[in-house]
């Protein structure tokens, strides 16, 4: 009887010990790259095996290291009883070491040892934009007159795992990246470049870290017709095409009105109204606004945008567009930019 009770007691302790082992979460690296390219932004992932659904561990990398994460908090992905915690780092130009990682849970504290990562050098290219990314694309582009001899090309970019802040182009007068918005791996930004008016195409490369090769991106450098982008002609001297377009709409409007009078068919009246509305939409004059003397003219409607020039004297000019906190204007012939609301005259 005593021997049987001892067996039950032993089995109970064994079951309890097994349960505690099962409940203990195991933390380890599930992904650390062995090599990365210089200046590359790359992920490091920790897996928590058998983690409780509402676990909230804290992660602290050794602060004595000169390597630090881009975000303080990791990207968390849960898959059943396993959780993945991804941190993002940016490489340098020489071999690096991921610092030791201290993990604190409600039950224990453990440390993951440092990891060494080797840096690979890229083959130099003249058309390289200095961006390395898992993917990058141009979502939108806009070309405007900058001054008498240059255009300004503005690109809206979307990329993943990209060092977009380092982007610049060789052999151009000026280029810069602004309005950068990051969401872990995804990043969006606006990039502008000043190009001579003779340039017909903007073409550059980025290095795709998945394909491990350079990828070309390009856009045509063609100034959009102001009558389309701003719904009126900025240039008072109309060209032959503008005249033809205007007279064609006027003729169609008159023709459809006459057809309505003679046929009494409301279909012709509808067509006449459409032609008249289109004519008014294209050629209605811009609203005028007053700009204060000394106001800075920004290249882009963002708080970090570069100033292209300053308004030499108070002037009244056409309002071409609005964005939160900014008004788009044409300062001088062919020079278009953005003015802050605070620089609009009170009168």
Dihedral (Cα; 120, 204, 335, 330), 10-degree rounding? -90
Based on the fold, state whether residues 155 and 71 are members of the same structural domain: no
**Which tens digit of pLDDT belongs to each residue from 12-47?**
544 444 444 445 689 999 999 999 999 999 999 999
If asked whether residues 207 and 133 sit together in one domain, one would say yes
pLDDT digits (tens, 9 = 90+) for 279-299: 776 666 667 889 988 888 888
The answer on 217 and 253 residing in a single domain is no
Looking at the fold, whether 91 and 49 belong to one and the same domain comes out as yes
Q: Are residues 328 and 269 in the same domain?
A: no
pLDDT band at 226 (very low <50, low <70, confident <90, very high): very low
Same domain, 69 and 93: yes
Q: Report CA Rg, the chain.
A: 31
Please compute the mean of the pLDDT values over residues 298-326 and round it to a whole number: 82
Residue 189 contacts residue 175 (beta carbons within 8 Å): no
Single out the residue in 66, 99, 120 at which a domain terminates: 120
Domain identity same for 145 and 164? yes
Q: Are residue 136 and residue 220 in the same domain, yes or no?
A: yes
Q: What is the pLDDT of residue 74?
A: 95
Give me 248's structure tokens: 């064609």
Alpha carbon 61 to its chain's center: 28
Please state, as a whole number, how many other Cβ atoms lie within 10 Å of the Cβ of residue 235.
Answer: 12
Whether 5 is covered by a domain: the verdict is no
- For residue 264, the enclosing domain spans 233-283
pLDDT score of 47: 96
Cα separation, 313 vs 295, in Å, equals: 9
Tokens at residue 139, please? 């979502």
What's the total number of domains in the chain?
4
326 three-state secondary structure: strand
Tell me if 1 is assigned to some domain.
no
* Alpha carbons 150 and 156: distance in angstroms, whole number: 20
Tokens representing residue 31 in the block = 């992904």
> Is residue 7, in this structure, part of any structural domain at all?
no
- Quick check: is 264 in a domain? yes
Specify the pTM.
0.66
pLDDT of residue 135: 97
Q: Six-digit token pair at 220? A: 């045509």
Residue 95 Cα to chain centre, angstroms? 29
The two tokens of residue 61 are: 């990398």
Per-residue pLDDT at 303:
73
Q: What is the CATH number of the domain that holds 317?
A: 2.30.30.40
Domain membership of residue 137 (yes or no) is yes
113 phi, psi to nearest 5 deg: -70, 155
Residue 169: other Cβ atoms inside 10 A: 18
CB 119 within 8 A of CB 96: yes
Q: How distant, in Å, are the alpha carbons of 143, 202, 229 from that of 140? A: 11, 13, 14
Q: Are residues 180 and 97 in the same domain?
A: no
Average of per-residue pLDDT across 151-172:
94
8-state DSSP, 344: B
Distance between CA atoms of residues 165 and 159, nearest Å: 12
Query: CA neighbours within 13 Å on the CB side: how many for 124?
Result: 2
- Specify the CATH number for the domain of residue 75: 2.60.40.10
Q: Give the pLDDT of residue 258.
A: 84
86 within some domain: yes
- % of the chain at pLDDT higher than 70: 84
Q: For residue 227, give the nearest of 218, 236, 219 by alpha carbon.
A: 236
- Tokens coding 45: 């992932």
- Pair (270, 326) in one structural domain: no
pLDDT band at 255 (very low <50, low <70, confident <90, very high): confident
Sorted by sequence, the CB contacts under 8 Å of residue 182 that are 6+ apart come out as: 70
Residue 2 lies in a domain: no
> What DSSP designation does 145 have?
E
What is the helix (H) or strand (E) element at residue 3, kind and residue range?
Answer: helix 2-23
Q: Looking at the predicted structure, is the pLDDT value of residue 269 above 60?
A: yes
Residues 45 and 85: beta-carbon distance below 8 Å: yes
Distance CA 334, CA 148 (A): 7
CA separation for the pair 183, 75 (Å, rounded): 10
Please say if the pLDDT value at position 3 is more than 70. Answer: no
pLDDT per position as a tens digit, 99-146: 999 999 988 899 999 999 999 999 989 999 999 999 999 999 988 877
Q: Give yes or no: residues 254 and 238 share one domain.
A: yes
Q: Which residues contact 143 (CB under 8 A, 6 or more apart)?
A: 151, 152, 153, 154, 220, 221, 222, 223, 224
Specify whether 218 is located in the same domain as 137: yes
pLDDT at 285: 63
Query: Looking at 120, 149, 180, which one is the last position of a domain?
Result: 120
Identify whether 299 is part of a domain. Answer: yes
More confident residue, 282 or 53: 53
Instruction: Measure the CA–CA gap between 182 and 75, rounded to whole angstroms.
Output: 12
**Residue where one domain finishes, among candidates 224, 250, 267:** 224
């Amino acid at each position: 009887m005593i021997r049987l009770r001892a067996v039950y007691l032993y089995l109970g302790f064994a079951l309890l010990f097994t349960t505690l082992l099962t409940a203990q979460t195991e933390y380890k690296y599930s992904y650390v790259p062995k090599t990365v390219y210089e200046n590359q932004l790359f992920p490091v992932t920790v897996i928590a095996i058998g983690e409780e659904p509402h676990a909230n561990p804290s992660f602290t990398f050794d602060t004595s290291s000169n390597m630090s994460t881009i975000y303080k908090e990791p990207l968390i992905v849960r898959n059943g009883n396993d959780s993945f915690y991804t941190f993002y780092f940016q490489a340098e130009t020489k071999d690096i070491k991921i610092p030791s990682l201290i993990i604190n849970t409600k039950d224990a504290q453990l440390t993951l040892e440092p990891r060494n990562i080797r840096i690979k050098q890229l083959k130099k290219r003249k058309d390289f934009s200095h961006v390395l990314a898992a993917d990058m694309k141009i979502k939108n582009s806009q070309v405007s007159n900058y001054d008498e001899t240059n255009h300004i090309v503005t690109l809206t970019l979307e990329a993943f795992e990209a060092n977009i802040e380092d982007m610049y182009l060789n052999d151009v007068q000026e280029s810069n990246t602004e309005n950068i918005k990051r969401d872990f791996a995804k990043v969006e930004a606006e990039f502008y470049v000043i190009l001579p008016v003779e340039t017909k195409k903007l073409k550059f490369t980025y290095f795709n870290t998945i394909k491990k090769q350079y990828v070309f991106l390009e856009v045509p450098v063609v100034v959009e017709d102001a009558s389309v982008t701003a719904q009126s002609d900025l240039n008072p001297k109309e060209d032959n095409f503008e005249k033809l377009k205007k007279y064609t709409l006027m003729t169609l409007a008159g023709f459809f009105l006459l057809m309505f009078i003679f046929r009494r068919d409301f279909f012709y009246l509808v067509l006449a109204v459409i032609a008249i509305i289109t004519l008014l939409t294209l050629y209605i004059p811009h609203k005028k606004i007053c700009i204060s003397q000394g106001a800075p003219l920004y290249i882009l409607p963002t708080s970090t945008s570069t100033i292209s020039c300053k308004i030499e004297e108070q002037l009244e000019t056409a309002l071409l567009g609005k964005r939160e906190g900014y008004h788009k204007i044409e300062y001088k012939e062919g020079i278009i930019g953005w003015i802050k609301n605070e620089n609009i005259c009170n009168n």
